[in-house]
Amino acid sequence: MYFSSDNWAGAHPKISERLMAASTGFAPAYGTSDLDRKVAERFNAIFERDVEVFFVGTGTAANSLALASVTKPGGVTFCHHEAHIHTDECGAPGFFAHGARLMPVSGDNAKVDCAALEAEIARFPEGGVHFGQAASVSITQATEFGTVYTLDEIAAVGEIAARNRLPFHMDGARFANALVSLGCSPAEMTWKRGVDILSFGGTKNGCWMAEALVFLKPELAREMPYLRKRSAQLFSKSRFIAAQFDAYLENDLWLSLAGRANAMADRLRAGLSASATCRNAWATTANEVFAVMPKAVMDKAFAAGARFYDWPQPKDQPGLLKEGEVLTRLVTSYATEAGEVDALLALLG
């Protein structure tokens, strides 16, 4: 009963097999192999336009390099205060971008509120040298709270970014889960709604280490080869990342893996809705589920071998928990079995 995180899962057999197959023979290093090129082209097809793709090692690297590529001196990136870049990356964005700052924006369900975003951007008028300068906007899709921006919501943020001439970044560590949840195309969820740069995650969805930084607006990528090398994210045997993506993107494997994860989350959500003791903390639609439960129930589940995290109560939801209750996070993955979900639900009661 592993619901701690989707990165506790291993690697899907098709991805492992492709890795194995790629392990023989010789190939040019540092991203110049035929396989690297072939996979880069596949990204063009998936996004229905010419994109620039850079393989990197971690989601934090993808996000930090994305923001660094469009930073400015005294620069500010606007993101939700629950964004991964803000809460969980040990300040990496600031380090990569020479002290540039993240300016947290409020909004329900871990989604940036457009009015709040505009108000924050307005605090950085052009020429306001003491304040610094607006540099970019970043959203997380799916969010840290298991919610998903609708296409209209993305477009609304994109419109604000464009009007302020700010590059628009999407942290897609769980891009596939969001995509499956919305049932749209990658193009529709990104550049058709104004997204310029995408952190395209594979690791949480069945790869063992495959992250891609995708420039939907390739002219923003000019310095990226140097930014990536300088930050130690250019892999000599890059073809092994390419191999993972090659299998991942083939025959829509990635979508079916995300579909599986989401379906298991649906099963969990339904079970929680019917639970006598627990409840969904808020509506979620991707592969993260947040449950409120009595602490005693959580402790019992832990004792029985269930693995998941209790979670800090969001500041903006003061009435969420009743006496004795805790907030928990339950994450499903491509590897989650229905039986495990049912066993957990049985434990929770």
Q: Which of residues 275-294 bind its own copies (CB under 8 A)?
A: none
Site string for its own copies, 102-141 (x = CB under 8 A): x--------------------x---x-xxxxx--------
| Residue 213 to residue 282: CA distance in whole angstroms | 31
State the alpha helices, DSSP H only, in the chain: 13-22, 34-47, 59-69, 84-87, 92-96, 114-122, 151-163, 175-182, 186-189, 224-230, 239-249, 253-273, 295-303, 338-348
Judged by CB under 8 A, does residue 37 bind its own copies?
Answer: no
Tokens of 134: 């607006």
| Residue 276 to residue 215: CA distance in whole angstroms | 47
Tell me 1's DSSP state: -
Judged by CB under 8 A, does residue 246 bind its own copies?
Answer: no
- Residue 82's Cβ-side half-sphere holds a number of Cα atoms within 13 Å equal to 23
Judged by CB under 8 A, does residue 233 bind its own copies?
Answer: yes
From residue 237, alpha-carbon distances to 23, 38, 55 in Å are 10, 15, 11
Q: Which stretch binds its own copies (CB under 8 A): 43-51, 87-95, 137-145, 319-327?
A: 87-95
Judged by CB under 8 A, does residue 14 bind its own copies?
Answer: no
Among positions 30, 48, 114, 310, the unique one binding its own copies when judged by CB under 8 A? 30
Please report how close the Cβ of residue 99 comes to its own copies at its closest, in angstroms. 3
Among positions 18, 66, 93, 186, the unique one binding its own copies when judged by CB under 8 A? 93
Q: Which stretch binds its own copies (CB under 8 A): 36-44, 231-239, 276-284, 287-295?
A: 231-239
From residue 303, alpha-carbon distances to 96, 268, 271, 296, 299 in Å are 41, 20, 20, 10, 6
Q: Give the DSSP letter string of 115-150.
A: HHHHHHHHTS-TT-TTT-EEEEEEEESS-TTS----
| Residue 64 to residue 295: CA distance in whole angstroms | 36
Site string for its own copies, 196-215 (x = CB under 8 A): -------xx---xx------
Please report how close the Cβ of residue 150 comes to its own copies at its closest, in angstroms. 28
Q: Which stretch binds its own copies (CB under 8 A): 60-68, 191-199, 247-255, 270-278?
A: 60-68
From residue 133, alpha-carbon distances to 16, 63, 71, 76, 326 in Å are 45, 19, 10, 6, 40
**Closest to 329 measured CA to CA, from 87, 2, 10:** 2
Site string for its own copies, 305-324 (x = CB under 8 A): --x----x------------
* Bridge partners (DSSP) listed for residue 76: 101, 134
State the number of binding residues for its own copies (CB under 8 A): 81
Q: Which is nearer to its own copies, 183 or 319 (CB)?
A: 319
Please report how close the Cβ of residue 60 comes to its own copies at its closest, in angstroms. 4
Among positions 42, 49, 72, 279, the unique one binding its own copies when judged by CB under 8 A? 72
Please report how close the Cβ of residue 127 comes to its own copies at its closest, in angstroms. 8
Among positions 45, 99, 317, 324, the unique one binding its own copies when judged by CB under 8 A? 99
Among positions 42, 237, 279, 295, the unique one binding its own copies when judged by CB under 8 A? 237
Judged by CB under 8 A, does residue 247 bind its own copies?
Answer: no
In the numeric block, the tokens 């540092």 are attached to: 30
